[in-house]
Amino acid sequence: MTIATEVATEALPELDYARTVDRLLVHRDALGEVFLTDLQPLGDTRYAAAAQLPRSHAYYGDHLLRPGHHDPLLILEACRQATLAGAHRFFGVPADNKFILTHLGLRIEHPELVFVGTSPFRLAMHVRIGKRMEREGRVTGLDYEITLSGGGAVFGTASVGLRFKDPNGYLTLRLNNRDGMALPSSASYPAVTPGAPIAPHLVGRANPDNVVLLDGVVVGESAQALLRIPARHASLFDHPQDHLPGMVIAEGARQLALFAALEVRGLSASKTLLTALDVRFTRFGELEDDTVLSAVVGSSGRTHHPAEPPVDYTLGGVLAAVDEDEQRPEDLRVGVEATQKGEVLCTFAFTLTRMTA
């Protein structure tokens, strides 16, 4: 496995870890869900960002893997916050704009550098704009490539795609997707989703509140489950949403990948770390519809998409591929697809790595 984007050679400035940024910059209600601590401009297409990753967290810290590593989805959340804040601060995206996630990517090349130590982890991010979209002088989309460092050493890379809509444009887009039906709110979503939750230890969790899978089944090399919408979850739904957030789907897909790895290949979640992820979002996930997650063990999860019409919210750019010949013996590939009413919302490609003490 190789780093999928170029490693920046420019030295990062001194970054501040003393306090978090304004929570509104990263679209969070709770201060405890803000991890970004600093932003520093480096030029027209680059900037540096810092985040402090906590040693303990009710959601991101609830994992069975020992020795403990910082959750890859926490690292990805820190990257997402860096891109949100950067869009506002450096590219003039108005505070009232809606941000639409188009793709995410993560490569952890050196997992030994992201273990949970005796102090909070100081994450440094070198952010580069790979693609910038404008219309009538307004930035409408940005694709980011991020180099990840800790303790002065590069341990991986990430990528994030965002598109921006003003309130009227967003409302029009959502209503068109819903055939004119009014937008829902997760604030009024039922607290309990019908179905049998998967046992926490089967998905690498200790706390049942952090399990987002229902009715898991395994057939051959495949596994399937329904996504539980945890609308009262303080981290996954920090504030009310009118759709299913991409990071919630990502958590469900990660849990199904771990469940499938255990049930199909006997790979214990207590010895398994997610070291690579690629996903492209092509449709909004609706709160009212069942979300079916399907996993295939040994699959890269990548599909060749046909040419698509130029609709901003579905164009996420080309994701860097991992060379199939560079898979390590301890790696397992799992592809996961999320669908609603038979329509694909997104397709994930995971690499799970067996960790040793």
Q: How confident is the model at residue 328 (pLDDT cuts 50, 70, 90)?
A: low
Residue 124 gets which letter from DSSP?
Answer: E
Closest to 355 measured CA to CA, from 143, 67, 123, 145: 67
Q: What is the pLDDT of residues 72-81, one digit of tens each?
A: 999 999 999 9
Mean pLDDT of 44-72: 96
Start-end of H helices in the chain: 72-91, 167-177, 246-265
> Cα(137)–Cα(128) distance, rounded to whole angstroms?
21
Q: Is the pLDDT of residue 313 over 80?
A: no
Are the C-beta atoms of 143 and 161 separated by less than 8 Å? Answer: yes
Q: How confident is the model at residue 67 (pLDDT cuts 50, 70, 90)?
A: confident
Residue keyed to tokens 């002088």 = 137
Answer whether residue 307 shows pLDDT above 60: no
At residue 311, the pLDDT reads 37
Residues 6+ apart with CB under 8 A from 259: 198, 202, 203, 213, 216, 218, 223, 225, 295
What does the pLDDT look like over 88-100, one tens digit per residue?
999 999 999 999 9
Whole-structure pTM value: 0.90
* pLDDT of residue 356 exceeding 50: yes
Mean pLDDT, rounded, for 81-91: 98
- On the question of pLDDT at 314 being above 70, the answer is no
The pLDDT of residue 3: 37
* Structure confidence at residue 310 as a pLDDT band (50, 70, 90): very low
List, in sequence order, every residue forming a beta bridge with 36; answer none if it has no partner. 51
Structure tokens that stand for 188 in this block: 């009024």
Euclidean distance between CA atoms 173 and 193, whole angstroms: 28
Calculate what percentage of the chain has a pLDDT beyond 90: 85
- Coil vs helix vs strand at 293: strand
Residue 300, pLDDT score: 62
Sequence-distant (≥ 6) Cβ neighbours of residue 29 within 8 angstroms: 23, 238, 239
Give the number of residues written for the chain: 357
pLDDT bucket at 60, cuts 50 / 70 / 90: very high
Residue 339 pairs in a beta bridge with: 292, 344
| Per-residue pLDDT at 10 | 59
pLDDT band for position 191 (cuts 50, 70, 90):
confident
Q: Which two tokens stand for residue 121?
A: 């982890």
pLDDT of 103 strictly over 80: yes
Token couple for 103? 């793709």
Tokens at 80, concatenated: 């997402």
| For range 131-141, the mean pLDDT | 96
Contact present, 301 and 350 (Cβ < 8 Å): yes
pLDDT at 287: 96
Mean pLDDT within 297-301: 76
Q: What is the mean pLDDT of residues 275-298?
A: 97
Mean pLDDT over 201-228 rounds to 97
Q: Are 320 and 1 in contact (CB under 8 A)?
A: no
Q: Please state, in angstroms and as integers, the Cα–Cα distance from residue 282 to each residue in 87, 134, 343, 344, 347, following that order.
A: 21, 20, 10, 7, 9
Taking each helix axis as running N to C, give the angle between helix 72-91 and helix 246-265, from 0 to 180 degrees, rounded to the nearest 10. Answer: 160
**pLDDT for 193:** 83
Contact 249, 285 (CB under 8 A): yes
Q: In this predicted model, what pLDDT tens digit does every residue of 105-122 receive, in sequence order?
A: 999 999 999 999 999 999
Examine the pLDDT at 238 and tell me if it is beyond 70.
yes
- Amino acid of residue 4: A
